[in-house]
Amino acid sequence: MKPFSELQAQHLTADVLHHEIGSRGYVLIRNLLPRTELNKLLGEVSQILSRSGWLTSGRDPIERIANAKAACGDPDPAFKSTYREVFNLESFHALPHHPQLKAVMKLIVGDRVLVHPKPIGRLIFPNSERLRVHAHQDYRFMNGDPECFTVWIPLHDCPGEMGPLQILEGSHHFGFQAHIDENLHVPEIPAGAEMGDEWVGGDINAGDVLIFHSLTVHAAAPNFSDRMRISLDCRFQDCARVVNPANLAFAGESGKSWEEIYKTWTSPNLKYYWKSLPLNFQPSRAEIETLSHTAASPSMRSRYSRILAQIA
Ligand SMILES: O=C(O)CCC(=O)C(=O)O
């Protein structure tokens, strides 16, 4: 596979970033984030995985040697309860706000940067093909404005055999591509139907960040190692552009709430920061209110009611 094109963190300007993302659909920045800070978060996450029995006992959890018998992933119930513990970590939510990352995102989206408040943690068991994320565009899941960017951040060195993300270079030039969702937990673009230039990939190390446009097709490589691959992905956009309010709330039936998540946090800084921003919701608050009474099915009406209550 063709190797990623890459930039070093010390050589970044808005022009260079716009050129890379505009032409290729992504930019891989080497050595942007301090390894010590990533390692601290990795330590917290791997303690949780170890307590859940996901790691081989007798080894240091930070090595992430997987207990193959525990292999699970979304939507397995065993996965969800452990994932929730990871998601509730204050440090997990703090990483997307890292000043070095925010400075780069400002160069890409402008000064009014919105850090979407729901990063996703990937806790990927090795040799579990059924749990691998296949080709898709994030716009399929985010809606809102396509000028939204995902940042993929491994918490440890992630060599090719450990399943880093791969990118279909130039695929953002082809608009929204058809996804299938029949019998699939996560919709995907059927293999061979993706439109773009060439798949690119390679090692992505602790400190590196892979940034891509919401229409860029990407997929996870298989994890053939004996370790769990742990990464976080988060989304950024210009505050003034349209935002799908579902991206700030827990619209499903999980019962998750910001109140519960924030309960154990020690600092007020990142609690509800998004509520004080002048966001351009689509649908608007008034439209969601109407939809909570008029949407076609009771489950959709409940979904809109939950969103409304959480963004109020
Ligand atoms: O890390 C993964 O396995 C998938 C990540 C992904 O699809 C994303 O960041 O949008």
One DSSP character per residue, 110-146 reads -SSEEE-S--EEEEE-TT-GGG---SB-THHHH-S-S
Name the DSSP class of 241.
S
Please report the pLDDT score of residue 149 as a whole number.
98
Please report the pLDDT score of residue 254 as a whole number.
86
Please report the pLDDT score of residue 233 as a whole number.
98
Please report the pLDDT score of residue 45 as a whole number.
98
Instruction: Indicate the Cα dihedral angle 300, 122, 145, 19, nearest 10°.
Output: -170
Please report the pLDDT score of residue 29 as a whole number.
98
Helices (H) and strands (E) in the chain, counts: 9, 13
Q: For the segment 219-258, what is each residue's pLDDT rounded down to a tens digit?
A: 999 999 999 999 999 999 999 999 999 999 999 888 899 9
Top-confidence residue, 267 or 11: 267
* Residue 220: both structure tokens together: 């996870």
Residue 214 Cβ contacting ligand 1 at under 6 Å: no
Please report the pLDDT score of residue 23 as a whole number.
98
Minimum CA distance residue for ligand 1 atom 8: 233
- One-letter amino acid at 256 equals K
* Closest atom of ligand 1 to CA, residue 136: 7
Residue 220 Cβ contacting ligand 1 at under 6 Å: yes
Do residues 61 and 42 lie in contact, with contact meaning Cβ atoms separated by under 8 Å?
A: no
Binned at pLDDT 50, 70 and 90, residue 44 comes out as very high
Please report the pLDDT score of residue 144 as a whole number.
96
| 266 C-beta neighbours (distance < 10 Å), count | 6
- Give me the residues paired with residue 6 across strands: 28
For residue 219, how far is its CA from the centre of ligand 1 (angstroms)? Answer: 7
Residue 138 Cβ contacting ligand 1 at under 6 Å: yes
| 212 C-beta neighbours (distance < 10 Å), count | 27
Please report the pLDDT score of residue 52 as a whole number.
98
Average predicted confidence (pLDDT) for the chain = 96
Q: For the segment 159-216, what is each residue's pLDDT rounded down to a tens digit?
A: 999 999 999 999 999 999 999 998 888 999 999 999 999 999 999 999 999 999 999 9
**Cα–Cα nearest to 287, from 295, 299, 279:** 295
Q: pLDDT at residue 138 above 90?
A: yes
* Closest atom of ligand 1 to CA, residue 233: 9
Please report the pLDDT score of residue 290 as a whole number.
97
Do residues 123 and 86 lie in contact, with contact meaning Cβ atoms separated by under 8 Å?
A: yes
For residue 218, how far is its CA from the centre of ligand 1 (angstroms)? Answer: 8
Give CA–CA dist 260/249, Å, rounded.
13
Please report the pLDDT score of residue 240 as a whole number.
96
Compute φ and ψ for 15, nearest 5 degrees: -65, -45
Q: pLDDT at residue 50 above 90?
A: yes
Probe residue for ligand 1, chosen from 26, 28, 116, 122 as the CB with the greatest number of ligand atoms within 8 Å: 122
Domains (range + CATH), the chain: 2-241 (2.60.120.620)
* Closest atom of ligand 1 to CA, residue 120: 9
Residue with tokens 């699939």: 184
The arithmetic mean of pLDDT across residues 291-304, rounded, is 95
Binned at pLDDT 50, 70 and 90, residue 38 comes out as very high
Please report the pLDDT score of residue 184 as a whole number.
86
The arithmetic mean of pLDDT across residues 63-77, rounded, is 95
pTM of this structure: 0.97
* Closest atom of ligand 1 to CA, residue 220: 3
Probe residue for ligand 1, chosen from 28, 95, 120 as the CB with the greatest number of ligand atoms within 8 Å: 120
Do residues 67 and 54 lie in contact, with contact meaning Cβ atoms separated by under 8 Å?
A: yes
* Residue 133: both structure tokens together: 């994320």
